[in-house]
Amino acid sequence: MRIVHIITRLIVGGAQENTLLSCERQRGRGHEVTLMTGPALGPEGSLMEQACSGGYGVEVVDEMRRAILPVRDLGAYRQLVRRLGELGPDIVHTHSSKAGILGRYAARRAGVKAVVHTIHGLAFTASTCGAVNWVYRVLEGRAAKVTTKIVCVADAMREQSLAAGIGRTEQYVTVYSGMETEPFLRPAAPREEVRRSLGLTEEHVVVGTIARLFHLKGHDDLLEASPELCARFPQMRFLWVGDGILREGFERRMKGMGLRDRFVLTGLVSPSRIPELAGAMDILVHPSRREGLARALVQGQLAGKPVVAYDIDGNREGMVDGVTGFLIPPFDRVNFCRQMAVLVNGETMRRTMGEAGRAFALERFGADVMAEGLERVYESALRG
């Protein structure tokens, strides 16, 4: 097949990593793959170098930006229509809200046979402003009418979208976001070496996060809980993997509480380092308030770590509550803190849950499992 993927920007993030892995696996299956993306703007870091080394075509649509900019958006739409007409793909597969809306309309205008869109996270729940969410809900509902198949990274995405009046039941199919599992099973650097480089020893119990330091990612909840936890467990350390616009404010709060030495902040790191950093943890926590299905949960489990997360969106499908970790009622900080303490205090429980989590993640979230699922979606879309 001739496949074109379209995404808004190639920053370091779960949707972007999922898209690149899809491109790589599809090229490996003999398909002709092109990725179209806006510039990788933002403090989150860029995946452009990885994309350009993947062996498939990469094209930058300079007018495409995450913000709503009508003049630029019209320019991006026209460029997409022109290039899709030239490329003549069998499938256009869009990702993220801006590229999802512009790309789907452009594909239909260019006469593409089948148009597929992946919901990595719900755009109409992303804002704290009700009017903005309403606009996205309307736009997503209209774009669904020119979409052949809608892929969800979790069943929860389908249920919430249908409840919002977006699309029809028969359009939806769930394909869990895949990952390269081998680097987590055999990290490039040993655990002891990585911990030593971070100033951590084997006596420390390391509670880690893998997330941008950004709004709604839940780092505030961890800061609220940290004085009590640090007082109870002198050996406990927090390891925050990622960077973002809130870092400076977080560091001021840590210093104000006298706990700066209990937190290790890695800053922006290459995705290739995630397996070894996850391996350096003892527990992975993910208190995010909005997700599709959190890749961090899968990464933690692949590294053999128990996980703690809020029971939101697709997280229930990304772990097994009470077996591979703990799902907490949404935004119950007290209970989140309590279950973190249970794991900090329970070495045997950490080991048992970690082993169960690794087995679960390997079965559900392998890259080849995802690639095969997308292949079936594309074949069904073309038949339709």
What confidence category does residue 206 fall into, taking pLDDT thresholds of 50, 70 and 90?
A: very high
pLDDT band at 9 (very low <50, low <70, confident <90, very high): very high
Q: What spatial distance separates the first Cα and last Cα of the chain, rounded to whole Å? A: 15
157, 313 Cβ separation under 8 angstroms: yes
pLDDT of residue 121: 87
- Judgement on whether residues 220 and 357 belong to the same structural domain of the protein: yes
Residue (of 65, 52, 48, 55) closest to 26 by Cα position? 55
Residues 379 and 265 in one domain: no
Whole-number Å distance between alpha carbons of 83 and 78: 9
Instruction: Answer whether residue 211 shows pLDDT above 90.
Output: yes
Backbone φ and ψ of 256, nearest 5° = -60, -30
Q: What is the pLDDT, as a whole number, of residue 293?
A: 87
Shared domain for 15 and 164, answered yes or no, is: yes
pLDDT at 29: 96
- Please indicate, yes or no, whether the overall pTM of this predicted structure exceeds 0.75: yes
Using CA atoms of 289, 295, 297, 302 in order, give the dihedral in degrees to the nearest 10.
-170
Tell whether 359 and 370 lie within a shared domain: no
Report how far residue 163's alpha carbon sits from residue 157's, in angstroms, rounded to the nearest whole number. 10
- We report the CATH number of the domain holding residue 78 as 3.40.50.2000
221 with 328, same domain: the answer is yes
User: Using CA atoms, how far apart are residues 379 and 145, in angstroms rounded to an integer?
Assistant: 19
Average confidence (pLDDT) over 302-327: 96
Same-domain status, 169 and 191: no
Q: Is 326 in the same domain as 212?
A: yes
Structural domain tally of the chain? 2
**Sign, CA torsion 349/354/356/357:** positive
Of 114, 113, 112, which is closest to residue 149 (Cα–Cα)?
114
> Domain check: are 312 and 199 in the same one?
yes
Give 360's pLDDT tier (boundaries 50, 70, 90): very high
Mean per-residue pLDDT for 32-61?
Answer: 93
Residues 316 and 271 in one domain: yes
Which residues are paired to 247 by β-bridges?
none
Which residue range forms the structural domain that includes residue 100?
Answer: 2-178+366-383
Do residue 29 and residue 116 come from a single domain? Answer: yes
Co-location of 286 and 343 in the same domain: yes
The CB-based long-range contact list for 320-326 (8 Å cut-off, 24+ gap) reads 320/356, 320/357, 320/360, 323/353, 323/356, 323/357, 323/360, 324/353, 324/356, 324/357, 324/360, 325/297, 325/300, 325/301, 325/353, 325/357
Q: Do 173 and 275 lie in a common domain?
A: no
Condensed to tens digits (0 to 9), the pLDDT of residues 267-280 reads 999 889 999 999 99
Mean pLDDT of the chain, nearest integer: 95
Reported as a pLDDT band with limits 50, 70 and 90, residue 44 is confident
Both structure tokens of 321? 């509550």
